[in-house]
């Protein structure tokens, strides 16, 4: 599925990011101008074709990620990373809030040398500006094989806004994004 998006829309680029539960990141990135699709998935582990239960066990090495397909003439990769560093805590190793395990690590999987360069620049800028009181532990690696998550994880917040986790965790991250990045919100979400 993921590769067909790029094949059918050659002007799009792909950003792959993990910062805790993929439902949070998906809900945010779906509201950005220039983003055509967001696919929740798994990446970075050794097990082929993982499923949610195996990833949650912490034994696969995979992280929960989102694949963000975006038009770089509308929104830049740097913009996507700046949002990423606001909506999760990049200083906590293998957890976000109450979600613990390597599957919740902060990770950027890059798809080009340019993305790799920008990712390292943004992390250095954050550290130089001392935005956080602790060091940024975000892993930056070349994108491995990426596996889409099960269908019931796709568009999760849109389908379940009243679900407890969505109300307690996803909605506040979405509100934080909306308060800081008004200019990047797609018109249909304003």
Name the residues annotated as catalytic.
Answer: 21
- For residues 172 and 49, give the distance between their C-alpha atoms in angstroms, rounded to a whole number: 31
Report strand pairing: 95-96 vs 99-100.
Answer: antiparallel
Over 1-40, what HEC string results? CHHHHHHHCCCCEEEEEEECCHHHHHHHHCCECCEEEEEE
Do residues 68 and 15 touch, judged by C-beta distance below 8 A? yes
Do residues 20 and 93 touch, judged by C-beta distance below 8 A? no
How many other C-beta atoms lie within 10 A of the C-beta of residue 133? 6
């Amino acid at each position: 599925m993921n590769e067909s998006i790029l094949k059918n829309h050659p002007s799009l680029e792909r950003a792959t990011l993990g910062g805790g539960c993929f439902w949070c990141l998906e809900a945010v990135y779906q509201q950005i101008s220039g983003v055509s699709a967001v696919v929740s998935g798994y990446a970075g582990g050794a097990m082929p074709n993982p499923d949610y239960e195996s990833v949650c066990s912490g034994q696969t090495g995979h992280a929960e990620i989102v694949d963000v397909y975006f038009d770089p003439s509308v929104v830049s990769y740097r913009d996507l990373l700046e949002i990423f560093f606001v909506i999760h805590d990049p200083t906590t190793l293998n957890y976000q809030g109450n979600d613990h395990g390597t599957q919740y690590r902060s990770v950027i999987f890059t798809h080009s040398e340019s993305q790799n360069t920008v990712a390292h620049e943004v992390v250095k800028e954050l550290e130089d500006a001392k935005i956080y009181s602790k060091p940024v532990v975000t892993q930056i690696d070349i994108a491995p094989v990426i596996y889409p998550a099960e269908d019931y994880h796709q568009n999760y917040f849109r389908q379940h806004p009243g679900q407890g986790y969505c109300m307690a965790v996803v909605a506040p991250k979405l509100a934080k994004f909306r308060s800081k990045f008004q200019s990047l919100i797609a018109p249909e979400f304003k």
